[in-house]
Structure 1
């Protein structure tokens, strides 16, 4: 039995769902465009450099979720999916996921983006298993705008994956082959412990590392 892990943003989708969500909110007048663009650029430069403070970023990124009820957010997300996400899911990505499923592999998306944004995208891709940033809820079940637990970012992806495996009575070594597909240098910790790391439309740092290590490099862009 094999395990196939996929990063989401800029890997299975040709864009960043964490960036597309505020773009969607800005178009509807919910977020201030100048302030958000300035802050988003600040965090994105950190992300590209591998120096992102994930907790500082999550405080910024999750705050708008606390302004709406869950039902309001679900309505907004359905519109966001249609306008911003479905157009950037490449057919090759769908086919790669389907190929692993047809082979009987356990397929998972493991992402540093929060579960509210990513769970519907995982369902669209037909992926049942998802590790994402978990969100704190108040007594009424609405989001507080804060994360909970270990963020699934950089080495946190290993922590969260090991927790998931342990809950199943497994370890990574329980699988004959373990794949991890990612575009980002931030995923080098997890890519370094699977048996089959694959660079997908990779950033320059990951691409150079993949070439040095002899890892395959592919594109899923149509």
Structure 2
């Protein structure tokens, strides 16, 4: 079966959409707005500056591999990473990650996705960064893209503002991310059935099936299969070196 023809530019679709803040545009972070993982840039910086001990380095590698092989839950992976930062001042980590964003992450923001964010902002839509990343990695991207609302994970801190090594519960991931978005919509008079959600991860299927305009971006296998099943438009983007505008095709028999 050949793909159904649709608009080649998602920004044109957005420009023709209903304006107003009652329509939301929710964006995942890693793999959707940014090429790669923001946490990896932070880990690399700690290793390069010899702030990470050998135990941390080996632990990060082991945990990442176990997660990829489905042998570790995301919540455990995130808590383990938070443990390596225990005792650090949150304000100091904010400054460090802002520097890392400027030095290395900003160039990995997908140009096409930046255009899509701006298109929603021009229509007056309520634009939200909804991610399983922690604040220190999510906030610099939100500031860069002028996104006012951020739904993400938070470190717990002590009375001195230092990390305890734990993540605030519930951890924003999968169904919990979907719940966070639904609750946000109820608090802010956003119509979920007229809103958009951009994400790449299989775990984001829980929200994709709830939102009115699901938009998988470079989807992973399970999300791609779900897109094919529901005939959702799939957006393919490349990094800044490719400088290619996005293509929008229905994932129906499309190779």
TM-score of the two chains, using structure 2 as the length reference: 0.78
Aligned alpha-carbon RMSD (Å) = 1.8
2: CA distance, partners of 1:161 / 1:63: 27
- Equivalent residue in structure 1 for 2:210, among 193, 196, 204: 193
- Equivalent residue in structure 2 for 1:136, among 131, 156, 160: 156
Structure 1 residue 26: Cα displacement:
1.4
Task: Give the alignment of 1:93-172 within 5 angstroms.
Answer: 93-168=113-188, 170=189
Q: Does the 8 Å CA contact 2:128/2:150 hold for their aligned counterparts?
A: yes
Residue 39 (structure 1) aligns with? 63
Residue 13 (structure 2) aligns with? none
Q: What do residues 116-156 of structure 1 show as CA deviations (whole Å, max 9, x unaligned)?
A: 22111111111111100122110012221211121110000
1: CA distance, partners of 2:224 / 2:198: 12
- Equivalent residue in structure 2 for 1:28, among 38, 41, 49: 49
Q: Does the 8 Å CA contact 1:97/1:107 hold for their aligned counterparts?
A: yes
Question: Do residues 87 (structure 1) and 111 (structure 2) align?
Answer: no
1: CA distance, partners of 2:180 / 2:237: 26
Distance 1:194 1:117, change over 3 A: same
Residue 16 (structure 2) aligns with? none
Structure 1 residue 89: Cα displacement:
0.7
Distance 1:84 1:67, change over 3 A: farther
SS at match of 2:115: helix
Residue 251 (structure 2) aligns with? none
Question: Do residues 3 (structure 1) and 24 (structure 2) align?
Answer: yes
Structure 1 residue 18: Cα displacement:
2.4
SS at match of 1:13: coil
2: CA distance, partners of 1:44 / 1:23: 19
Question: Do residues 211 (structure 1) and 228 (structure 2) align?
Answer: yes
SS at match of 2:198: strand
TM-score of the two chains, using structure 1 as the length reference: 0.89
Question: Do residues 72 (structure 1) and 92 (structure 2) align?
Answer: yes
SS at match of 2:150: strand
2: CA distance, partners of 1:141 / 1:101: 34
* Greater per-residue helix proportion: 1
SS at match of 1:145: strand
Unaligned runs of 5+ in 2: 1-21, 244-255
Q: Does the 8 Å CA contact 2:201/2:219 hold for their aligned counterparts?
A: yes
2: CA distance, partners of 1:154 / 1:61: 19
Structure 1 residue 78: Cα displacement:
2.7
2: CA distance, partners of 1:63 / 1:212: 40
SS at match of 1:153: coil
